[in-house]
Amino acid sequence: MSTSALDPKSSESITPVRWGVLGASNFAVKVSLPSMRRGPLTEIAALASRDIGKARAAAESLGIPRAYGSYDELLDDPEIEAVYIPLPNHLHVKWSARAARAGKHVLCEKPIALSAKDAAALVDVQHETDKRIAEAFMIRYHPQWQQARDWVRSGRIGELVSVQAAFSYFNRDATNIRNREQVGGGALYDIGCYAVNTSRLLFGREPVRAMVLVERDPEFGTDRLTSGLLDYGGAHLTFTCSTQAVAYQRVNALGTKGRIEIEIPFNAPADQPCKIFLDDGSTLNCSSAKVTSFPVVDQYHLQSEAFSRAIRTGSPVENSIDVAVGNMRVIDALFRSAESRRWEKI
């Protein structure tokens, strides 16, 4: 992300992109959409739900001018240029494809598909329609991740040899879509995908094989505790994710000469500064770690602004559909490993 994405003056000559939203999930209404609306390049013009009452209530609460009682109605709106899709996971491919074929650019929540094969189908749709399709990994737009990647690339920690990631929360609500296996619930799809995505970002290459250990909820059937290992060819990702553990998240990147620790790597707060640590390992109590703090930013705001800018200027997007397919290849291999109980090639 260039610094121009944070500079309002750089947006003065760019016409805002008119967005539509498919779905009125609690996450979208309370988290992502309020952040998106603050961007000068992002104009949210319409919201659709299968329940027109829910659509109107959500649109009114967010100051969105138009509400539709079906997704197709919104896609038929000729003024909408881009669509944001925060629908349940199993609906992502279907509505991303329909939106692109309706002439809209697409920013779809993660995971963009439930398999690499389905994600690859969206590559074909992008070529067919000439519309941008990207997966919404908002963390890639946060400056703390930009800094971590720059430190790795510049050799500040020597050669990167290991990334360790943990991400967990506790949720046993049977009605929550994260606990419904048939719609793509479970820890790996919901939060383990972040460990996969960010390790690929830091290593700058693809892993070659994967192994995982999964504990499934006896009632829901979803993976409630998943611990995995990715082989990057002489370097590793180790991660644990859980939907039934204490809320926690942390990333450590270990190099031959130092390490990077990201304190709140995934749910970076939009109302307080974030900090990361660069440590040369000269002390074991971390007193040698130097802190880098970042001004308050909203990663969902940065994401939608960058995508709007890409639509207007043709600049690349940070987490394109091709990158998304790579993430799903790894997740597929992890799920295969859960069944085979052995290493699986990616």
Catalytic machinery residues = 110
Cβ contact 182:89 at 8 Å = no
What is the chain's Cα-based Rg? 20
Cβ atoms of residues 325 and 126 within 8 Å: no
Residue 340: is it exposed, middle or buried by C-beta count within 10 angstroms (0-12/13-18/19+)? exposed
Exposure of 16 in the CB half-sphere (CA atoms within 13 A):
17
CB atoms inside a 10 Å sphere around CB 126: 21
Cα atoms in the Cβ-side hemisphere of radius 13 Å centred on 65: 8
Name residues whose C-beta falls within 8 Å of residue 342's C-beta, 6 or more positions apart in sequence: 211
Angle 277-279-285 from CA coordinates, rounded to 5°: 100
Whether omega before 78 lies within 30 degrees of 0, making that bond cis, reads no
Q: Report CA-CA distances (Å) from 114 to 125, 167, 184, 232, 327.
A: 17, 20, 7, 23, 11
| Dist CA 162 CA 255 (whole Å) | 7
